[in-house]
Chains A and B, each alone.
Chain A
């Protein structure tokens, strides 16, 4: 017979520990315990059999895993908490004795703790940290807009403003913003960084009332760990882009509400970039002699050419197999390097070809646009969004300093204003008319971003009733009705047609603009030629795509037949119950699609009417 088991040696009693027991074990106050748990990422749990643990009491208590609490005992922060307490007692004693000088010097040497080891422990890899960034960013962006009072400290707000601006700068310069949604609650943004989608919400400015039913100590503790996390994430992101972190702050501009423009991003010195690229491509660490620098510079030039080639190849490939390309994984035919999900070595953290490719590939939606913001328009959001898609933007002096140009600049293509108009078709009062500009409402920018193309400005002019602002976070199922989908296709066709006529005019104007900006004509011509080549490349690739589609169809018809057969067999094998359920699902789908068809037909009819 085995050893007799004693009470309290196995099972739930050992697995869980109540909060009061934990406090007794750790010898700290409740407030400190709460902070420690939040910092360490230790959360309360709901035991399966609560009655067993509660010793007959029916009151629900808070439980933790005993192992977690045991682990907390090793925490350096816990020691600092205890030191802080004894230090505070010393200060109190000095104040009680009216020895203020002593108290002051004591308070200056208060023991402090750092959280970097906790961040490393909770997020062993950088991707782990990115995955948990949603909450952290939302909190940081929220606190950056809060008013300072006795509960929300000024240094927290300042820190949050800095961190949020730094992160926005990264998103802007890496072109990683994907979606924007303006809701009545706040503005939702979604960015894609290292293959991770990061969603965060920012409040509207001056709108946040601080509620009374929120525990500030809890929020402040979460903020503490998130500040540290975002700080390290920013450092990593910046240093991977070869930008100096932390960026310098132009204090004068910051004082005059410069916002994002008061941060000065500087790349690390040139030599550093060159050597790192050489190391990444050849695995050879270049010494800092002139000959080798020249050589690497040459290599960079050739790399650019290669990249262009790769890009055009990639465009072709896209049509061939979209599904494969979706994951961003490697294509076998091309020599394109494999995108790396999580760089773990120093080699991988330097900007590799993939990074360059991604950055250039894409989201230069507003690159041909120059915006001007009227003062009634939310600059804090629009500046971020426009710059994230390569646009240029200027604003009224009343909404902050640092505008790169003024309102009468001839380069401006879009004037964004949001004031009521007296008569439809007219500009609002106080907005001067320039012939070369489109006058639009701010929603146009958000809608362009979500549609991933420049949508028509009709309907967005001042005074017009805006089309609805759709949430880009809704997943559209197959066969669902999307109001703008046909418009998008048509737009593209029209652009192709109009492109030929418009290019001459456009190029002439662009040249003039370039001259105004101080670019030499010869330099400009080179750039323009490159752009033309790009367009030319794009067309044949589309044609190729169509051919390949035809091949695909013949292959797929057989597959389809097989699939249909399999489906029928499966249906026959179904039980009555399942069959009914299946039928119901199918009928609802059919109903939906028929509804969508109806809507499409209606739209077509309306269009016909309008045309007539």
Chain B
């Protein structure tokens, strides 16, 4: 199959044939001219009236174009249509590789989609594994790197194999020094984990003495003293709390019952607490028993009563306010009518005087009595003070007991004891082999630390996603051609 290699030439040839055909068909029905016409914008047709108009409005542009082209061809080396075909075309025997490729491997649609938009390559984030330069020996053969491990590792391996020593790099070499340093470090760590007699050696702070020699006594740095702070570690809670005798793997019946009783009472207590809370939060059923009338009537009456009272009070105050002037007049007049005589006044004064004297005497007597009874008063006072002290003592003792037996509240969360380990009768093992352990010692140790106030009670924090995931449908596949 022959095909033109240069499409430009092909069009030129087509134009030439069109030009050759032009004289025969001047009306311009040849396909070449048609195609040329198709590219142009059609002009509006001019007038066709009279010869003058005919000459003026005849469009000979395409003929002139062709002639121009022919002239151009002549200038460039002969008219094309006169040339033999051999000089214009050749048979392509090799064929186009791209064509074959195009025919065979039509790119997949997905590849088209994934093809990068930009023709500029992206920036590489990591160093390219292959270096851009090559090491070449004298013969021009590339020297390939055979080392796969780091230099330090290689050194270690060589040390192990004893190669460095042979090469004179053993003791004193960098890697040897490093190894020695490492070994020293390890030895120091091991020593500090039970490698010497900690309580046997007689060190009274002499370790730092040589460093301190340069200082005067007054400014010599002193070792920090441990403060004498006391912690409220519950004294009654031992570090290792031994299980109840009923928690033996093979307990006596009475012990076992006692253990179950203890465990059950704790559980009942918990249930009662829950119930209490539930009851507080629930709707009281007693409210249903009340019928609506009694429920509402009372309040109405009360309100009415309140209103009545309010009215009365208002009315009373009003009347008072109105008649205040009149009243004062009346009282004044009444007082005038009952005006005391001087004798009367004197009598009253005497009466008053006598009364006062009697009272004074009484008070004096009382005081005397009290002075006599000072012992008993003191006794009663002492009793009161004693009782107060006793109450205080009791309160203190109770607080001390609380501190000795109950963990303190050291954080927002209260300590929650682990449930007591106990097995029911049917769970008890008949021999050591069939024993099923109960409880978890890991948890037990952790709870013990909390119980003894060594660490604060906490609740494990799990990270939650704040925003919920939102589900959407992707429409990306629609956007590709």
Residue from A142, A378, A470 in contact with B432 in the complex, judged by beta carbons closer than 8 Å: A378
Question: Given A218-B446, A218-B455, is A68 in contact with B229 using a C-beta cutoff of 8 Å?
Answer: yes
In this assembly, does A184 line the interface, its C-beta being within 8 Å of a C-beta of chain B? Answer: yes
Chain B interface, number of residues (Cβ within 8 angstroms): 74
What are the residues of chain B within 8 A of A214 when measuring CB–CB? 442-443, 446
Cross-chain contact A231 with B185 (CB below 8 angstroms): no
Interface residue range, chain A: 35 or more
In this assembly, does A149 line the interface, its C-beta being within 8 Å of a C-beta of chain B? Answer: no
Question: Given A219-B446, A469-B248, is A184 in contact with B456 using a C-beta cutoff of 8 Å?
Answer: no
CB distance from A340 to the nearest CB of B (A): 14
In this assembly, does A546 line the interface, its C-beta being within 8 Å of a C-beta of chain B? Answer: no
Residue from B197, B253, B430 in contact with A239 in the complex, judged by beta carbons closer than 8 Å: B197
Interface string of A83-120 (1 = CB under 8 A from B): 00000000000000010110011001000101110011
What are the residues of chain A within 8 A of B26 when measuring CB–CB? none
Cross-chain contact B430 with A185 (CB below 8 angstroms): no
Cross-chain contact A114 with B432 (CB below 8 angstroms): no
CB distance from A163 to the nearest CB of B (A): 8
What are the residues of chain A within 8 A of B126 when measuring CB–CB? 98
Cross-chain contact A232 with B453 (CB below 8 angstroms): no
In this assembly, does A514 line the interface, its C-beta being within 8 Å of a C-beta of chain B? Answer: no
| CB nearest to B256 among chain A residues | A468
Residue from B195, B247, B255 in contact with A235 in the complex, judged by beta carbons closer than 8 Å: B195
* Total A-B residue contacts, Cβ distance less than 8 Å: 240
Cross-chain contact A466 with B437 (CB below 8 angstroms): no
- Cα–Cα distance between A206 and B444 once the two chains are bound (Å): 17
In this assembly, does B159 line the interface, its C-beta being within 8 Å of a C-beta of chain A? Answer: no
Residue from B152, B200, B421, B442 in contact with A105 in the complex, judged by beta carbons closer than 8 Å: B152
Residue from B238, B243, B253 in contact with A184 in the complex, judged by beta carbons closer than 8 Å: B243
What are the residues of chain A within 8 A of B224 when measuring CB–CB? 71, 73-74
Residue from B231, B435, B438 in contact with A43 in the complex, judged by beta carbons closer than 8 Å: B231
Cross-chain contact B435 with A204 (CB below 8 angstroms): yes
Interface string of A406-430 (1 = CB under 8 A from B): 0000000000001100000000000
Question: Given A231-B193, A235-B198, is A188 in contact with B243 using a C-beta cutoff of 8 Å?
Answer: yes
| CB nearest to B199 among chain A residues | A126
Question: Given A46-B409, A465-B430, is A134 in contact with B240 using a C-beta cutoff of 8 Å?
Answer: yes
CB distance from A419 to the nearest CB of B (A): 7
Cross-chain contact A219 with B445 (CB below 8 angstroms): yes
In this assembly, does B232 line the interface, its C-beta being within 8 Å of a C-beta of chain A? Answer: yes
Cross-chain contact A65 with B248 (CB below 8 angstroms): no
Main DSSP-derived SS at the B contact region: loop
Interface string of B144-174 (1 = CB under 8 A from A): 0000001110000000000000000000000
| CB nearest to B194 among chain A residues | A231
| CB nearest to B421 among chain A residues | A185
Cross-chain contact A135 with B240 (CB below 8 angstroms): yes
In this assembly, does B477 line the interface, its C-beta being within 8 Å of a C-beta of chain A? Answer: no
Cross-chain contact B433 with A419 (CB below 8 angstroms): yes
Cross-chain contact A211 with B440 (CB below 8 angstroms): yes
In this assembly, does A228 line the interface, its C-beta being within 8 Å of a C-beta of chain B? Answer: yes
Chain A stretch 26-51: residues in CB contact (< 8 A) with chain B: 34, 38, 43-46
What are the residues of chain B within 8 A of A376 when measuring CB–CB? 433
Residue from B194, B229, B423, B430 in contact with A67 in the complex, judged by beta carbons closer than 8 Å: B229
In this assembly, does A236 line the interface, its C-beta being within 8 Å of a C-beta of chain B? Answer: yes
Question: Given A185-B421, A213-B460, is A114 in contact with B192 using a C-beta cutoff of 8 Å?
Answer: yes
Chain A stretch 183-226: residues in CB contact (< 8 A) with chain B: 183-186, 188, 199-201, 203-204, 207-215, 218-219, 222
Which of the 9-residue segments A56-64, A253-261, A315-323 touches chain B? Answer: A56-64
Chain B stretch 223-263: residues in CB contact (< 8 A) with chain A: 224-227, 229, 231-233, 238-240, 242-245, 247-253, 255
- Cα–Cα distance between A207 and B433 once the two chains are bound (Å): 13
In this assembly, does A451 line the interface, its C-beta being within 8 Å of a C-beta of chain B? Answer: no
Cross-chain contact B252 with A228 (CB below 8 angstroms): no
Residue from B247, B249, B442 in contact with A211 in the complex, judged by beta carbons closer than 8 Å: B442
CB distance from A412 to the nearest CB of B (A): 20
Cross-chain contact A119 with B198 (CB below 8 angstroms): yes
CB distance from A75 to the nearest CB of B (A): 8
Cross-chain contact B238 with A101 (CB below 8 angstroms): no
Question: Given A45-B231, A134-B238, A199-B240, is A443 in contact with B432 using a C-beta cutoff of 8 Å?
Answer: yes
Question: Given A74-B224, A235-B195, A441-B431, is A46 in contact with B441 using a C-beta cutoff of 8 Å?
Answer: no
- Cα–Cα distance between A59 and B442 once the two chains are bound (Å): 30
Cross-chain contact A235 with B441 (CB below 8 angstroms): no
Cross-chain contact B198 with A116 (CB below 8 angstroms): yes
Cross-chain contact A135 with B448 (CB below 8 angstroms): yes
Interface centre among A70, A183, A235 (most CB of B within 10 A): A183
What are the residues of chain B within 8 A of A183 when measuring CB–CB? 242-243, 247-249, 421
- Cα–Cα distance between A465 and B428 once the two chains are bound (Å): 13
In this assembly, does A473 line the interface, its C-beta being within 8 Å of a C-beta of chain B? Answer: yes
12 A-B pairs within 8 Å (CB atoms) are namely: A44-B456, A46-B232, A60-B411, A62-B411, A120-B199, A139-B445, A185-B441, A186-B437, A219-B446, A231-B194, A469-B251, A473-B245
Give the top 5 A-B pairs by smallest Cβ distance, nearest first. A231-B194, A114-B192, A74-B224, A471-B245, A67-B227
For the A-B complex with A45-B229, A46-B408, A443-B431 known, give 15 more contacts whose Cβ atoms are closer than 8 Å: A45-B232, A62-B456, A73-B224, A114-B193, A116-B193, A125-B199, A181-B243, A184-B243, A201-B444, A214-B442, A218-B449, A230-B194, A231-B193, A235-B198, A236-B198
